[in-house]
Structure 1
Amino acid sequence: MNSPALVAAASGFGFGLSLIIAIGAQNAYVLRQGLRREHVLAVVAVCALSDAFLILLGIGGLGSLLDLAPWLVDVMRVGGAAFLLTYAALAARRAWRPAALAAEDAGSATPLWQVVGTTAALTWLNPHVYLDTVVLLGSVAGTHGDDRWWFGLGATTGSLVWFTTLGYGARLLRPVFARPGAWRVLDGVIAIVMVAIALTLLRGLMDA
């Protein structure tokens, strides 16, 4: 790898991490599944592969299409907000009636298809993922010229590292979440984050 390509890859790695590390609906769900040690590989795979595909689209120029059809973003805002508010209600119900980690592991395993579906929805129904990953990251990658694909490779690697660390590293917190009270706090925070993001999406729709 030549020096400009290496710089582009390193820049993509750092920029990609800066976009996904912030607390959000997707990260909150990955953390929760990691704590439960439930279908973690599937969750990490869906998140990382989705990011890789969106990064590819962004570098390939899909951001220009979104600029030409802004109504697509509005549709995604409404759908994403509806889904997030629904998930927030479920998280709030869990916070109201929390269970210890051991109890959750013993009697309420979630089917794989449901976990994959929820992960995909939290990823693809969030308009910010298109604005950040496709439009913004694609634009920044374009500044690297012919090395933009190395930038994309770096960003994809950063995404994979982050979701793997979050999903599998969450088990280190399991002793804390052996108490129902800890789950009450986590699910309460998740509910608040989901509502806040949903309101942000709807506010963006009104400001458009």
Structure 2
Amino acid sequence: MTAKLRELLPGATILTPHHRGLAQTTQQMHTLIVRIENKEPAVKSKLGKYTDGNVVQVMTSYDELAVGVDGRLCIPCNVDVSALLEFLQQSAGDGKLLQKRMQEARQELEKEAALVAGELGLPILDWESNLPLDAVLKSVRRLPTMDPQAKDLIKGLHVRLSTNTTVAIQAVIISIYDETMQAGDCETVTENFGDYLTSVGA
């Protein structure tokens, strides 16, 4: 079914609403395909002029035509094809531009994260996929500014940037100190380090 939609929207990368279950996804894809196929050839050929190189996501009938923050073109399955053509004429170029910017931002972030992970001795430095890339980049760039003690404590750990407040424990911090340090001082340093990680979204 995805292949059929690619024929009708040539050159587009098709994303399907997989999270809604196979039956509903199939129905939504079928609905959109039938709507496009029922239009006259001249209209169908015009669609292909604007979909090439774009990412198209099939949405539910409750959604609206829109350009996503990452440049994807969101198309409800019950869309009026004439309205779709008008939308593509106005927004397909914006979608491609946003995709390009997002790709560049992602590459910059991945490069910066690799440098920071190497500097701090982190085997993995990653982030939740729903986070804004510019915010993640700022957090990644702040990590090397932590004090030397904090850097030593996270060395060798998997650090994930997250805004998930439903997770009660995201990490366990184990502090090891020798007889030259008081237990209370160690506790203070550990708590401060935990507060710092929270402040940078780790």
TM-score class, shorter-chain normalisation, is under 0.3
Larger radius of gyration: 2
TM-score (norm 2): 0.25
Higher relative contact order (CA 8 A, sep 6+): 1
Higher strand share: 2
TM-score (norm 1): 0.25
Higher helix share: 1
